[in-house]
Amino acid sequence: MSRGCLAAAAPRPEAMALPIRKPVQRAAVTFQGVPTMMNTLTMDRAASKAKPAHLSPKTPARSLAFLEFAVLLTLVAFSAPASAQQTPSPTAGEIVLTLPDGDEELKIEEGESKTIMVELSAQPSDEVTVTLAKTNADITLSPASLSLSFTASNWNTAQSVTVTAGQDADATDDEDTLTLSATGGITASNIVESIDIIDDDGSIVFSAAAVELIEGSEDDRSKTFTVELGAPPASKAVLSLSSGDPAAVTVSPVRLNFSASDYDKAQQVTVTAVNDGDFADEMVDITVSVVSGITAEDASKSIEVSDDDAIVVSPSNALKIWEGDDARSLAISLARVPTEDVTLTLSKTNAKVTITPATLTFTKDNHFKAQIVEISATYDDDAITNTDTITLSATGGIDAPDEIALTINEPRSRPVSEIVLTLPAGGLTIAEGGTEDITVKLGAQPSSTVDIELTKTNPDITLSRSFLTFNTSNWNTAQSVTVSAGQDDDATDDEGSLTLSVHSGGIVALQVVESIAITDDDDGSITVSAAAVDLVEGSEDDRRKTFTVKLGTPPASSAVLSVMSGDIEAVTVSPATLTFSASDYDQDQTVTVTAVDDGDSADETVDITVSVSSGITAGKVKKSVSVRDDDGRILIDPDPLSIEEGNNESFAVRLSGAPASNAVLSVTSADTSVATVSPATLTFTATDYDDEKLVNVSAVGDGDGTDDSVEIVLSVSSGYTDVDDVKKSVMVVDDDGGIVVSSTSVSLDEIDPPANPDDPYTPDTGTFTVELAAPPASKAVVSVTSPDPHAVTVSPPTLTFSASNYDDPQEVTVTALSDKDGTSEDVAIVLSIAEEGYTAADNTKAITVKDDDAGIVFDKTTMSLREGGAADRFLVSLGSPPSSSATFKVGSQGQGKDAVRVTPEILTFTYDNYKDAQAVTVSAVEDSDTSNANLTVEVSSDQGYAGASETITVEVIDDDGIVLNVPSLTLNEGDQDVPFYVSLSGIPDSGNAVISLSSADTNAVTVTPASLTFTSTNYATGQRVGVSAVQDDADASDHEVHITLTVLAGYTTAHPRTMRVHVIDDEGGIILEDSSLMTIAEGDTTGGTFNVHRMPSCR
């Protein structure tokens, strides 16, 4: 019986006989399982498993004693199952994903689609299926099959995938992850790409009504508008509100919170106009922006602010005049006291218009008094109604442009009349809180109904009626108007004006302007200090003294008091005016009075009069000042003379009266070691006694660091009897002193206290030293101060130095305190002289406190990339909030830092988003070398976060080296010299590159040659390698052998490669388990069974 290997490569017929003996009564059998007439039996490849073939009797065609025959088994074909088919090894490669428009991140707005392109980096050995997977139901992918097919012919042809972000009802950005994975003829890492879904539903909705504020108005300085969202947030949305000019408009609240349930419920925002000192109207935008929880563009609400400090014009609305008619009047005043005189100019553009006068001047005293300007228009021959604009512009103490629209009507035939105003017997003078009635009628019958408009200038004045209507019947019937004066809290009389003008109708009449006087009912008062003021003429100590002034009641806005001396040749005052506001009226202001040296010898008493210039009603107050005469004296400036050590200064000397003969003064220094004088004497005559003569003082340098003082004594030597000595104080400022601080830097670590307060706690401390540059005269006290005691404390708070230990360093201990933010602090400890007696400039010592709360958090610590392959990313967040905002630099470090590209390069975290992870993408960069790269990517604080840093380790696996034209070979047993080709991807490192080739099993596969040599010129040209499958008869098994290619020299950084060789064995056969004679009795219905095996296969 033949045995062998069933080989698919060369199937061959093989017969095997099974002898069968049967009784002669019947002449035939039936072969079940392997029937007659060329039926087949299919067997497993496993050699150990028998398969039964069944025979059963059949009625014979003729009668014999026995029928003996053979069953012939023939191997007609061999078919390997799918699992045994030759499957080529997958090619090493990557999935290449290209985002649209060169984007580094895939960002899609809701409702938008973007197309990405997918291809392979290398030709696959078999068909490849790239499967696409996503996690968010709002993202759809096309093709709908969520897979792409690549073959050896289209592997580098990019196929498109459309990514669509669906619409949803909320206003929150969303995200997803797109995963691409490959199966089949390539080994490639999965690509994981983040998808940012930008929501398009978010919007900030304001109430539509305009918001107009009036500065200083009780009713209109504050108003509200509402804010709501156009779509719900996913959970909570936070909005911030800010004023474009908080000096003009404030906003409250500054934050609004919305949830998914109340996003469309309007929340109220209050805006308030701020009183300022200018005269300008303003337009301020309130900006509402998203802090978190929703995506929406910033929105602005415009707030119009009408200034209450503007020019007051009556009538304030548009002015109508008629060609050739009498002029119309404008009453103009200022609403508040200007800082200086104001010139108000009225200008126009229409040549027909005349303005008289065109210039007005307002002062602090008359700013509230209305000045009248006449406006008229000349007649022309056309029939066109003209318009013009009167522009009021101010220079000087205000900046308040204003405009008045002017309509010039064509002349028409209207009666000329007048507005007849009847006032009370005493004129229009109204007590504060009181009223007066006036009556109005026309002087002539109108041609049609006439409207008379009444306007006033002072807001404290109210009118019972603003319009009066007369017709052709009641024109001469007086109509009554009540004028009221409101109460206020100041003590100032006030005034205003009432203007009556024809608003419309059938007469021509001049405006009537009437002044209104408001008598204040609050008693004002001026209060001066009670202490007596006694001056001594020429006395260093007593020639100048002070008293104080304040008000007993507040002014309406500001009050100006005049301070005048009754005899300026005896006493002068300063300042000449005092200004009080409603907020400081009861705070003392100081008046300085100075005795004037005169030629007489009489004592005097002078009254200083304090009276109201403007702004309040109060009686005058006088303060008596007594002056004792000192004539016959030596006169000098009583103020001390200050000289820096080593420098010179001078002071002037004269006499108060003429000497009888020449007067000689002696000039001496009380301590010549401190200062010297020249000349030593001064001589005055009867003609030059009041001419100033100079005394030069020289400050003497010394070795200490202490200021000194000395008195220069002037005394009469002759010719000027009964005159007291005069002393001039001189302060010598030392130039040797200095505070010296040790130069060694001091850096402290912030250490949190233990959770259990009973546990010991030792904060970090450091020291520096302090000494003086020069000795003090006696002692010097240095104050040691921390400007931020919440970050660093100091001990001791003062240092004391003497003349003997001034240059001995004294130690200062600094201690770092713990806080909850993540910010390091730089604190400059200030060292200054605490007591007089030593002169030195302040010095500082910089202390750095490294925060312990700062922490950068990564989601991974290592990363492996393949050169030219897919990018990877890691997530960054902070472990504690920064104090405001913190920026971080992101970059690669180390010898292989150029092997990757990192994006973004800057991360910014705020107090609100410090926990929100931000992605950093790392991509491997293709290069021409064959080296793997190892590096770190560092995220380090640029500012605002304690100098914290963190690194992630990155390995980049190089894809350059030994190149094979095919990844594997399949040979039949006995095949000889089957070729494959080898080249290099890069130039050898130095000289020639030698590659060795070796077979892992030379009994099955051999390879020639044993080595290949490449040069710098032929490295890219493939060299032939022959592979042979060794014939064996010992087994019937297939073989798989690896050929290893290793660099021996010249290309040391390249990695070894392997070629897989599969050898198909060509032996095989059939085995009968028992080949002895089988006997079956005629009529035996059960028949008989024999078992068939096959030889082991090559695999």
Q: What is the pLDDT of residues 234-277, one digit of tens each?
A: 888 899 999 999 888 999 998 999 998 999 999 999 999 887 76
Q: Kindly state the average pLDDT of the residues 142-168.
A: 89
Q: Is the pLDDT of residue 232 over 70?
A: yes
Higher pLDDT residue, 805 or 306?
805
Residue 516 lies in a domain: no
Higher pLDDT residue, 328 or 526?
526
Higher pLDDT residue, 333 or 736?
333
Closest CA to 988 of 920, 909, 1050, 1037: 1050
Place of tokens 């007048």: 418
Residue 934 lies in a domain: yes
Q: Are residues 300 and 208 in the same domain?
A: yes
Query: Among 412, 428, 459, where does a domain finish?
Result: 412
Q: Are residues 642 and 699 in the same domain?
A: yes
Closest CA to 957 of 260, 232, 158, 187: 187
Q: Is the pLDDT of residue 215 over 90?
A: no
Q: Is 100 helix (H, G, I), strand (E, B) or coil?
A: helix
C-alpha distances in Å from residue 1030, one per residue of 75, 272, 772, 975: 26, 99, 97, 8
Confidence at residue 721, expressed as pLDDT on a 0 to 100 scale:
66
pTM: 0.29
Confidence at residue 26, expressed as pLDDT on a 0 to 100 scale:
36
Q: What pLDDT band is residue 548 in, cutting at 50, 70 and 90? A: very high
pLDDT in tens, 340-382: 888 888 888 888 888 999 899 988 888 778 889 888 887 665 6
Determine which of 191-200, 415-424, 924-933, 1072-1081 has the lowest per-residue pLDDT on average. 1072-1081
Closest CA to 328 of 338, 319, 337: 319
Confidence at residue 658, expressed as pLDDT on a 0 to 100 scale:
81
Closest CA to 506 of 448, 452, 453: 448
Which tokens is 948 given? 């914290």
Q: Kindly state the average pLDDT of the residues 596-622.
A: 83
HSE-up of residue 564 (Cα within 13 Å, Cβ side): 9
Confidence at residue 25, expressed as pLDDT on a 0 to 100 scale:
40
Residue 520 lies in a domain: no
Q: Is the pLDDT of residue 412 over 70?
A: no
Q: What pLDDT band is residue 58 in, cutting at 50, 70 and 90? A: low
pLDDT in tens, 123-132: 998 999 999 9
Confidence at residue 706, expressed as pLDDT on a 0 to 100 scale:
76
C-alpha distances in Å from residue 865, one per residue of 96, 870, 898, 952: 14, 7, 14, 13
Task: Determine the distance from the C-alpha atom of residue 292 to the mean position of all C-alpha atoms in its chain, rounded to a whole number.
Answer: 14
Q: Kindly state the average pLDDT of the residues 523-529.
A: 86
> Considering its fold, how many domains does the chain have in total?
9
Confidence at residue 506, expressed as pLDDT on a 0 to 100 scale:
75
Q: Are residues 972 and 1057 in the same domain?
A: yes
Query: Among 178, 198, 218, where does a domain finish?
Result: 198
pLDDT in tens, 999-1018: 999 999 999 999 999 998 99
Q: Are residues 845 and 874 in the same domain?
A: no
Q: What is the mean pLDDT of the chain?
A: 82
Confidence at residue 334, expressed as pLDDT on a 0 to 100 scale:
78
Measured CA to CA, the distance from residue 482 to residue 173 in angstroms comes to 65
Q: Is the pLDDT of residue 152 over 80?
A: yes
615: burial class by Cβ within 10 Å (0-12, 13-18, 19+)? buried
Q: Are residues 250 and 292 in the same domain?
A: yes
CATH of the domain at 591: 2.60.40
Query: Among 850, 877, 893, where does a domain finish?
Result: 850
Residue 240 lies in a domain: yes
Range with top average pLDDT, 25-29, 96-100, 353-357, 589-593? 589-593
Measured CA to CA, the distance from residue 555 to residue 488 in angstroms comes to 10
Measured CA to CA, the distance from residue 406 to residue 420 in angstroms comes to 25
Measured CA to CA, the distance from residue 492 to residue 582 in angstroms comes to 11
Determine which of 82-96, 359-373, 802-816 has the lowest per-residue pLDDT on average. 82-96
CB 912 within 8 A of CB 875: no
Q: Are residues 753 and 715 in the same domain?
A: no
In the chain, the percentage of residues whose pLDDT exceeds 90 is: 36
Q: What pLDDT band is residue 404 in, cutting at 50, 70 and 90? A: low
Measured CA to CA, the distance from residue 979 to residue 974 in angstroms comes to 15
Q: What pLDDT band is residue 1079 in, cutting at 50, 70 and 90? A: low
Closest CA to 263 of 240, 239, 298: 239
Q: What pLDDT band is residue 87 in, cutting at 50, 70 and 90? A: low
Higher pLDDT residue, 600 or 21?
600
Confidence at residue 758, expressed as pLDDT on a 0 to 100 scale:
85
Closest CA to 138 of 115, 113, 168, 108: 168
Q: Which amino acid type is present at position 394? A: A
Confidence at residue 1073, expressed as pLDDT on a 0 to 100 scale:
53
pLDDT in tens, 160-209: 999 998 887 776 778 889 999 999 999 999 998 889 888 776 789 999 89
Confidence at residue 1089, expressed as pLDDT on a 0 to 100 scale:
61
Measured CA to CA, the distance from residue 8 to residue 972 in angstroms comes to 10
Determine which of 74-83, 93-102, 491-500 has the lowest per-residue pLDDT on average. 74-83
Determine which of 642-651, 726-735, 1073-1082 has the lowest per-residue pLDDT on average. 1073-1082
Confidence at residue 651, expressed as pLDDT on a 0 to 100 scale:
95
Confidence at residue 1083, expressed as pLDDT on a 0 to 100 scale:
59
Confidence at residue 406, expressed as pLDDT on a 0 to 100 scale:
57
Q: Is the pLDDT of residue 672 over 50?
A: yes
Q: Are residues 175 and 210 in the same domain?
A: no
Residue 436 lies in a domain: no
Q: Are residues 744 and 828 in the same domain?
A: yes
Closest CA to 699 of 645, 750, 621, 738: 645
Measured CA to CA, the distance from residue 47 to residue 2 in angstroms comes to 15
pLDDT in tens, 844-869: 999 988 876 657 889 998 998 877 67
Q: Kindly state the average pLDDT of the residues 403-413.
A: 56
First to last CA, the chain: 23
Q: Is the pLDDT of residue 101 over 90?
A: no
Range with top average pLDDT, 211-220, 578-587, 906-915? 578-587
Give the angle 341-345-346 at the CA atoms, nearest 5°.
150
Q: Is the pLDDT of residue 919 over 50?
A: yes
- 235 phi-psi bin (left φ>0, alpha ψ -120 to 50, beta other): alpha
Confidence at residue 911, expressed as pLDDT on a 0 to 100 scale:
82
pLDDT in tens, 15-50: 444 455 444 443 344 444 444 434 555 554 444 445
CATH of the domain at 924: 2.60.40.10
Range with top average pLDDT, 728-737, 811-820, 1019-1028, 1051-1060? 1019-1028
Q: Which amino acid type is present at position 166? A: G
CB 78 within 8 A of CB 7: yes
Residue 973 lies in a domain: yes
The residues, ordered by sequence, that sit 6+ positions from 931 with a Cβ below 8 Å of its Cβ are 958, 1053
Q: Which amino acid type is present at position 756? A: N
Residue 528 lies in a domain: no
HSE-up of residue 552 (Cα within 13 Å, Cβ side): 15
CB 605 within 8 A of CB 624: yes
Q: How many residues does the chain have?
A: 1099
Q: Are residues 190 and 95 in the same domain?
A: yes
Closest CA to 949 of 824, 764, 847, 790: 824
Residue 268 lies in a domain: yes
Q: Is the pLDDT of residue 800 over 90?
A: yes
Q: Are residues 759 and 843 in the same domain?
A: yes
Q: Cβ–Cβ contacts within 10 Å for residue 861, how many? A: 10
Residue range(s) defining the domain that contains residue 399: 323-412
Closest CA to 66 of 19, 27, 18: 27
Place of tokens 């009118």: 463
DSSP class of residue 899 equals G
Q: Are residues 822 and 873 in the same domain?
A: no
Q: Is the pLDDT of residue 673 over 80?
A: yes
Q: Is the pLDDT of residue 93 over 80?
A: yes
Measured CA to CA, the distance from residue 298 to residue 240 in angstroms comes to 10
Q: Are residues 721 and 750 in the same domain?
A: no
